[in-house]
Amino acid sequence: MEIPKTYDPSATEDKWYGYWMKNNFFKSVPDHREPYTIVIPPPNVTGVLHMGHMLNNTIQDVLIRRARMLGKNACWVPGTDHASIATEARVVAMLREKGIEKKDLSREDFLKHAWEWKEKYGGIILEQLKKLGASCDWDRTRFTMEDDLSDAVIEVFIDLYKKGHIYRGTRMVNWDPAGLTAVSDEEVIHKEIDSTLYYVRYQVEDTNDWVTIATTRPETILGDTAICVNPEDDRYKHLHGKNIIVPMVNRLVPIITDSYVTMEFGTGALKVTPAHDINDYQLGQKHKLATIDVLTPEGKMSAAAGFYLGEDRFVVRKKIAKDLELTGNLVKTEPYKSNVGFSERTNAVIEPRLSMQWFLKMEEISKPALENVMNDNIRLVPEKFKNTYRHWMENVHDWCISRQLWWGQQIPAWYDETGDFVVAKTESDARILFEAKGKIFTKESTISQDEDVLDTWFSSWLWPISVFDGFKDPNNADINYYYPTNDLVTAPEILFFWVARMIIAGYEYRGEKPFTNVYLTGIVRDKLGRKMSKSLGNSPDPLDLITKYGADGVRVGMLLSSPAGNDLPFDESLCEQGRNFANKIWNAFRLINGWKSLEDKEGVDNRDYTKITEWFKAKLESETANINDLYSKYRISEALMAIYKLIWDDFCSWYLEIVKPGIGMAMQEATYNTTITFFESLLKLLHPFMPFITEEIWQSIRERKSNESIMMETWPTTGPEESKILNNFSSAMELVTEIRNLRKTKNIPMREPLAVSLFTGKSDAIADFHSMIIKMCNLSGIEIISNKPDGQAPIMIRDHEYFIHIQGLINIEEEQKKITEEIIYTKSFLESVMKKLSNERFVSNANPEIVATENKKKSDAEARIKLLESQLEGLGKGH
RNA sequence: GGGAGCUUAGCUCAGCUGGUUCAGAGCAUCUGCCUUACAAGCAGAGGGUCACUGGUUCGAACCCAGUAGUUCCCACCA
């Protein structure tokens, strides 16, 4: 059957993925082998695959496939995250399109819609991962809001509450006016934006005296309950203790003093709005100021504002400026750059807002998590993230864990009609607890559950434990076998959101780390260096890329230039390179496959390839060792590059070209079998990166049983380093390159054979490869001579002098110039070596080994100069 | 404001304990080739004052200090 000239991924990828699934190759159950476990960073259940997922999951698949081939019991647990805010926002938007408002629905009805939405779109992303080739154990797919995982969340909440780590309180929180919920500090992204600094004057009570303040948020003037100045500020000392009139609302508020105020900034006078600024809130607490909340949860002006009722805060900001100007109270404005917090999920401008929330105290429970990263019990890759991690962990804030949403685990706190509460799993448990507190239930008594749900991360921080049912059944076979997991692959953006908290939960609930290594990927960026995102529209659809370049091509493209922790400046040409590589391998397969049959062949190529196969075996083993080493350092892209070069350069450009039989000739069976074995080893080394094409070729290259697969094969072995043969071969390569270069510069076509002679008397290390050189360069032969020929082109490889017989074509002057230049270079090199060696301080201070190599350099250089000089002499003769 | 990292070829990056495996790789570029596996290819070649300035050292891309640029994290002076 004719094999197509180009590799067609679409013809193979689904076929082999189905085959792997059918044979349960991804499945893992505990057994006697060493486990190797990865839990997936669960993507948003209703999300779709983006480039970050591609990078992330490709790396995980590479690691898991290699571990499987190393004979470990590899288990990659997939799953999805319920993503409270994001999913709820999408469901709300979907309902709104249908004309349904969330507020008109009961909690139950809303959740019904949400679950329907989840059933419809949930899991799309997991199907997309299959296209990428991800070898997850799909039977283990978990979802953070399924019953068992939700139970775990609730139990953990109750447990931490009982231990005194969880408390409820009114605090200034980050309010997301679009998501209508509090978010944690980590979910706020600060960006510098251009804004305006408004200078507004306030009249001091019963005087004609005015104080001008500077603010970026004039709309909050309506909620001012004080003006604050620095007690040391002479400009304002006469006003201490006086009252001032807030413009518009004409409210009388005190002028207070506090050293918090910077005299240099603005006018040195600060308006204090305790309801809308964290610092003002603290001032308010300290000075017992009133709190006037002028905004609604949606970020519109509330009744308390007294003006602009129901209008958006940003609209009002402009309006109030105008109105202040009309009354002459706006002194001036100036452009100003300020840092504004945005919601990580909805991108709305965060509003500091006072509200009652649940918090988890972090200080105590985070201690083991800090310690075990610092002492490398848990290794962060790259290591530089240790610094960031430590900094965060040493300054960790309490975690606001309640969210004013419905999609998520409802907080297991129960309130009676007086507002008293208990924490319990069920209503009946709650009643018992209330009774224990002395409460007597009457017919009128009602108790109700807290309306809020828990932060999504409060479920995903349990992920490495909960996916193995480590809460439901803490001593089950799975958790005992798979936990702690081995590698976690994720983005540095969620180092605190998720990684740190998983570590905390691991030590709190298993007394042990959740994973040993954390591989932090970079951010996928576009050519302009911008982060790829849906809102910017600069992200290619990964599935389109897979269609265009094949999953293998895209995988290689993603990994070619993304060392751990480095951002990946993505360019489609990387995928093209991946696709081209696939095609290269495909054609190597076509070539080798053509050697299988002896039919129509005129005879057998009887040349001896023993040395060549010895060389390639040595090369293969040494590169395997190198690749293993790179893996152990998580230098994944370098490991890929090593295989890339091994296949493209060493195998295709050298080995295959060398053993290729002449036209019409058949290959010796032994050579063929060795070649196939080499090819199989290469395919195995490549398999973690390019699972589909390697399977396709591996299946075709030899007869296979119906349940065999390259993914279940064992990883190639290494042998002792054969540096001698490797060095000799690279010297031979050098000679080949020199001769090719000579052909090119002298315009001697390949079909015209060249004669070469080797001046004897030296070691014959390269001679092992003479037949290879003859073949690769189309030489008539290499003659060993004892007298140097005249007027031939000399090539010196190490201490071997070769002469290329191109008498008529040689330009003596040019050659002389070349050699002279080399002599000058070598002499100056020798000079620098001599300088070192004659330096007494060098000889006495430097390591003896270094001195020895310098001595060797010296003798080598001297010998080389001698040779070059004799060549120069030989050139002149005969002309 | 505090902290951390980075700066090596046109691009993306290696370069470990200072010393010829020290200036490298892939891509891109240039030149010549449709050589019967592959033009998604083959062969060859050219690209770098290792950000800058000083210092330490017999010797610095590498160690130290400073400067500039850049990225990230934390904190949020309105």
Per-residue pLDDT tens for A713-769? 999 999 888 888 998 999 999 999 999 988 888 888 888 888 888 887 566 778 889
Show the tokens assigned to A820. 């002279």
Q: Which residue is nearest to nucleotide B13 (CA to C1')?
A: A561
pLDDT at A460: 95
Range scoring the smallest mean pLDDT among A137-151, A558-572, A577-591: A558-572
Instruction: Give me the pLDDT at residue A763, please.
Output: 60
Q: A289-293, A776-780, A803-807: which has the minimum mean pLDDT?
A: A803-807
**A494 within 8 A of A521, measured Cβ to Cβ:** no
* Cβ atoms A196, A331 nearer than 8 A: no
Using an 8 Å Cβ cutoff, are A171 and A184 in contact?
A: no
Q: Could you identify the residue whose CA is nearest to the C1' atom of nucleotide B43?
A: A740
Q: What angle do CA A548, A39, A135 make, to 5 degrees?
A: 40
Closest nucleotide to A576, Cα to C1': B40
Give the nucleotide with minimal C1' distance to the Cα of A851.
B19
Give CA–CA dist A494/A461, Å, rounded. 11
pLDDT of the residue at A456: 94
How many Å apart are CA A746 and CA A737, to the nearest integer?
14
At A879, is the pLDDT very low, low, confident or very high (cuts 50, 70, 90)?
Answer: very low
Q: What are the CA-CA distances from residue A573 to residues A51, A133, A553 (Å)? A: 15, 21, 10
- Distance between the alpha carbon (CA) of A387 and the C1' atom of B5, Å: 10
Average pLDDT on A415-433 reads 94
> From the C1' of B39, which residue's alpha carbon is nearest?
A580
- Residue A361 Cβ under 7 A from any strand B atom: no
Distance measured from the CA of protein residue A132 to the C1' of nucleotide B38, in angstroms: 25
- Strand B: which of residues 479-498 in chain A lie with Cβ below 7 A? 492-493, 496
Chain centroid to CA A334 = 42
A531 — pLDDT class (breaks 50, 70, 90): confident
Average pLDDT over residues A459-474: 97
Q: Tell me which residues from 530 to 569 on chain A have a beta carbon below 7 angstroms from nucleic acid strand B.
A: 560-561, 563, 566-567, 569
- Taking the C-alpha atoms of residue A405 and residue A644, their distance in angstroms, rounded to an integer, is 50
How many whole angstroms separate alpha carbon A163 and alpha carbon A140?
32
- Contacts of A22-28 with CB under 8 Å at 24 or more apart are A23/A707, A23/A709, A25/A135, A25/A709, A25/A711, A25/A712, A26/A76, A26/A135, A26/A136, A26/A137, A26/A138, A27/A137, A27/A139, A28/A73, A28/A74, A28/A75, A28/A137, A28/A140
DSSP structure class, residue A706: T
**CA A586 / C1′ B34 distance in Å:** 20
Per-residue pLDDT, averaged over A710-715, amounts to: 97
Which nucleotide's C1' is closest to A569 (Cα)? B12
Pull the structure tokens for residue A758.
Answer: 């080797």
Mean pLDDT score across all residues of chain A: 90
> At what angle are helices A13-22 and A691-701 packed, to 10 degrees?
80
Q: How far is the CA of A375 from the C1' of B66 (A)?
A: 33
Q: Which 3 state secondary structure label does DSSP give A531?
A: strand
C-alpha separations of A602 from A595, A597, A665, A667 in Å: 13, 12, 6, 11
Residues 744-803 of A with CB under 7 A from strand B: 744, 750
Angle (CA) A575-A578-A580 rounded to 5° is 110
Name which of A345-359, A679-693, A810-824 the model is least confident about. A810-824
Sign of CA dihedral A449, A455, A460, A461: negative
pLDDT in tens, A829-862: 787 778 777 777 777 777 777 777 778 778 878 8
Could you identify the residue whose CA is nearest to the C1' atom of nucleotide B19?
A850
β-strand partners of A781:
A755
- Above 60 in pLDDT, residue A213? yes
What percentage of chain A reaches a pLDDT higher than 90? Answer: 62
For residue A388, say whether its CB is under 7 Å from any atom of strand B: yes
Q: Give whole-number Cα distances, A405 to A86, A88, A107, A402, A452, in Å.
A: 11, 7, 10, 9, 6
**pLDDT at A262 > cutoff 90:** no
pLDDT of A1 reads 57
Nucleotide B58: nearest residue by CA–C1'? A842
Let me know: does A658 contact A612? Beta carbons within 8 Å: yes
The whole-number Å distance from A547's CA to B11's C1' is: 26
- Strand nucleotide closest to residue A278 (CA to C1'): B76
Residue A221 CB in 7 A reach of strand B? no
Element containing residue A351 per DSSP (H, E): strand A351-360
Phi/psi of residue A440, nearest 5 degrees:
-110, 120
CA–C1' gap, A845 and B55, in angstroms: 21
Q: Is the CB of A653 under 7 A from strand B?
A: yes
Instruction: Considering only residues A875 and A570, tell me which one the structure prediction assigns the higher pLDDT.
Output: A570
CA-to-C1' span, A380 to B19 (A)? 33
Question: What's the CA–C1' distance between A566 and B22, in Å?
Answer: 25
Query: Would you place residue A329 in the very low, low, confident or very high pLDDT band (cuts 50, 70, 90)?
Result: very high
At A759 the three-state DSSP class reads: strand
The CA radius of gyration of chain A, in Å to the nearest whole number, is 37
Task: Give CA–CA dist A89/A179, Å, rounded.
Answer: 6
A691 preceded by a cis bond (ω within 30 of 0): no
Contact A584, A7 (CB under 8 A): no
Nucleotide nearest to A228 (CA to C1'): B78
What mean pLDDT do residues A48-56 have? 90
CA distance A676 to A622: 19
Instruction: Determine if strand B comes within 7 Å of the CB of A278.
Output: yes
- Distance CA(A528)–CA(A571), nearest Å, equals 10
A216-225, A443-452, A595-604: which has the minimum mean pLDDT?
A595-604
A297 touches strand B (CB under 7 A): no
Tallying the residues shown for chain A, one arrives at 879
Determine the pLDDT at residue A870.
Answer: 78
Give the pLDDT confidence score for residue A30 in this predicted structure.
98
What is the residue type of A411?
Answer: I
Strand positions, DSSP E, A205-294:
210-215, 226-229, 243-246, 251-257, 269-272
Q: What is the mean pLDDT of the segment spanning A480-498?
A: 93
Query: Distance from residue A395 (CA) to nucleotide B75 (C1'), in Å?
Result: 10
Residue A211 approaches strand B within 7 Å at CB: no
> At A430, which amino acid appears?
A
Shortest-distance nucleotide from A660 CA to C1'? B37
Which bases along strand B come within 7 Å of a protein CB atom?
2-5, 11-14, 19-21, 25-28, 35-45, 57-58, 72-78
From the CA of A829 to the C1' of B49: give the distance in Å: 20
- Whether CB of A638 is under 7 Å from strand B: the answer is yes
Q: Which of residues 694-733 of A touch strand B (CB under 7 A)?
A: none
Nearest to A702 by CA among A683, A685, A715, A719: A683
pLDDT band at A601 (very low <50, low <70, confident <90, very high): confident
The spacing between the Cα labelled CA in A639 and the C1' in B26, in angstroms, equals 13
Mean pLDDT across the stretch A357-365? 92
Q: Given the structure tokens 């010196």, which residue do they identify?
A: A796
Strand partners, A337: A194
What's the CA gap between A257 and A389, in Å, rounded?
38
Give Cα separations from A116 to A94, A100, A141 (angstroms): 12, 15, 19
Contact by Cβ (8 Å): A330, A199: yes
- pLDDT tens for A265-302 read 888 899 999 999 988 998 898 899 999 999 999 999 99
Buried b (16+ CB within 10 A) or exposed e, A375-390: eeebebbbeebeeebe
pLDDT-derived band at A711 (thresholds 50, 70, 90) equals very high
Confidence band, pLDDT 50/70/90 cuts, at residue A872: confident
Estimate in Å the CA A727 to C1' B55 gap, whole number.
41
Residues 106-165 of A with CB under 7 A from strand B: none
- Would the pLDDT of A877 be above 70? no
Q: Indicate if CB(A662) is under 7 A from strand B.
A: no
Going by C-alpha positions, the residue among A557, A635, A36, A556 that lies closest to residue A381 is: A635
CA dihedral A360, A363, A367, A369 (to 10 degrees): 40
Distance CA A449, CA A428 (A): 12
Query: Which ranges of A204-311 does DSSP label H, i.e. alpha helix?
Result: 278-287
Least confident of A7-21, A148-162, A589-603, A755-769: A755-769
User: What angle, rounded to 10 degrees, do the helices at A51-69 and A124-132 form?
Assistant: 60
Give the distance, in angstroms, between residue A188 CA and nucleotide B4 C1'.
21
What span, in angstroms and rounded, lies between the C-alpha atoms of A623 and A626? 5
Q: Which nucleotide lies nearest residue A835, CA to C1'? A: B58
Residues 571-600 in A having a C-beta less than 7 A from any atom of strand B are 573, 577, 579-580, 582-584, 587-588, 590-591, 594
CA–C1' A744–B33 (A): 11
CA-nearest of A442, A438, A443, A447 to A416 is: A447
CA A353 to each of CA A24, A261, A733: distance values in angstroms, whole numbers, following the listed order: 52, 21, 72
Is strand B less than 7 A from the beta carbon of A265?
yes
Strand-pair category, A210-215 with A226-229: unpaired
A342: Cβ under 7 Å from strand B?
A: no
